[in-house]
Amino acid sequence: MEYRSRLEELAKKQGRKSRLALVGAGQMGRGFANQSQSMGGIVVAVIADVDAARIEQAFADLGLPEPVISDDVAVLNEAISAGKPAGTTNAFIVSQLNVDVVVEATGVPEVGARVTSACLNAKKHVAVLNVEMDVTIGPLLTKMAADNGVVYAVCHGDEPVEALALVEFARDLSFEVIMAGKGKNNPFEPLSTPATVAERAAAKKMNPKMLCSFTDGSKTMIEMSALANATGLKLTKRGMIGPEASVKTLHNVFVPTADGGVLEETGVVDYCTGDVAPGVFVIVKTDKEYVAHEMSYLGMGPGPYFSLYRPYHLASVEAPITIAKILVDGQASFACTSRMTEVVAATKKVHQAGDVFDGIGGYSMRAVADRKEDALRDNLVPIGLLQGARAKHEIPVGALVTWDDVEIDETQTIVALRKEMDALGL
């Protein structure tokens, strides 16, 4: 039965639609709200954003009346119970609201950590469009959810979730997974900033910080690190390889060097440039001669390596499927219990002593995917902890940021949660 029908059945059973709280009404959040509201059986009951105008715009998109906007929990819960649109500029009270699932869509690691941990401890399901946070403290959040009898999940629509589905499909069929990855559709400009991409961002109707996180490579590094964590596959190397490939050549490029490819070992994660974007893919191999024959007969290539390719990911548009899985199946689309990777940071400008680091997609730093053991060996700081950190001394452009280079903002929730996660050995 379709999830839509099952959500409607759940609504009939409980006498009301399932209520969602959306945190973050930017591009991703706004797309999520528009799609989820039309699915049936669920309703965007409350939206939290620092900008009240964005809350109003998001509800206007849905054809709903002006929301009751307040930072008073009692006022908001009254509106929610009455079926009135509700909004708040204080995301940190969402854990106290009468909703069934909280969707965290800010993309800011610290905000995500505060909202998600509070909601999980309040025994609310949480779905996130915040992979930046997940690669920093995801295993701890998964454990917190389990301890509280709720679900924590990264949403469908992002490449890691869709690539994971292909990996699971391949493993279920007993193929050997050689590698998994995504296509990168923006030029790699490692020193790009919101200023250098501003014109392109305006043309795409995007936040320049978001576009910058694509062009400087941060998003790709974060997403492929998340994929490695969820699948147990390794990164190819620090920063990955990122060769050029096409849909037709994937199974020639991402194979062992002995067979003419770029891989020093198999069972890895990487990305490519070329016409593969916006898709995700898995390279598989079979040692069964007749299965290889069947794959070739079905147009999958000559073998012995074959590519399984999904030509799209729909970002926030398909994210509501995660909500359905949580509500009717009690399952997470994507969650990891341990880590294969660390996402570290390389500077994009010279930092003088006392300079404060800004966030991902900003002017200070870009993300670099690394193997967990290599980052630990080199004393590198997770990028999710660096916003608000101060440089202890001059740090040149292109340097990987170490714990000796910076003074971390210890007041951040994400820092405390990361320490807890490390203490637990997750």
Helix/strand/coil for 239: coil
Residue 23 has pLDDT above 90, yes or no: yes
Average pLDDT score over residue span 30-35: 93
| Residue 288, both tokens | 């069964």
Cα 397 from Cα 395, distance rounded (Å): 7
Phi and psi at residue 389, to the nearest 5°: -70, 155
Cα 316 from Cα 75, distance rounded (Å): 29
What are the residue boundaries of the structural domains of the chain, listed by start? 3-158+317-329, 159-312, 341-424
- The class that CATH gives domain 341-424 is alpha beta
Q: Please check whether residue 417 is in contact with residue 112, taking contact to mean a CB–CB distance below 8 angstroms.
A: no
| Residue 137, both tokens | 């403290």
What's the CA angle centered on 372, arms 366 and 378, to 5 degrees?
70
pLDDT, tens digit, 9 for 90 and up, residues 183-236: 998 889 999 999 999 999 999 989 999 999 999 999 999 999 999 999 999 999
Cα 134 from Cα 112, distance rounded (Å): 9
Residue 251 has pLDDT above 90, yes or no: yes
pLDDT tier at 39 (50, 70, 90 boundaries)?
Answer: confident
Residue 117 has pLDDT above 80, yes or no: yes
pLDDT tier at 298 (50, 70, 90 boundaries)?
Answer: very high
| Residue 21, both tokens | 């709280």
pLDDT tier at 180 (50, 70, 90 boundaries)?
Answer: very high
| Residue 64, both tokens | 């709903």
Q: Is this structure's pTM higher than 0.75?
A: yes
Looking at residue 1, its pLDDT comes to 76
Q: Please check whether residue 94 is in contact with residue 46, taking contact to mean a CB–CB distance below 8 angstroms.
A: yes
Residue recorded with tokens 């620092």: 50
The conformational region for residue 17 under phi > 0 = left, psi -120 to 50 = alpha, else beta, is: beta
Cα 268 from Cα 235, distance rounded (Å): 5
Superfamily for domain range 3-158+317-329: NAD(P)-binding Rossmann-like Domain (3.40.50.720)
Quickly count: other Cβ atoms within 10 Å of residue 31's Cβ. Answer: 21
Looking at residue 292, its pLDDT comes to 95
Contacts of residue 406, Cβ cutoff 8 Å, sequence gap at least 6? 357, 381, 386, 389, 390, 391, 392
Average pLDDT score over the chain: 96
pLDDT, tens digit, 9 for 90 and up, residues 46-79: 999 999 999 999 999 999 999 999 999 999 999 9
| Residue 12, both tokens | 């009939």
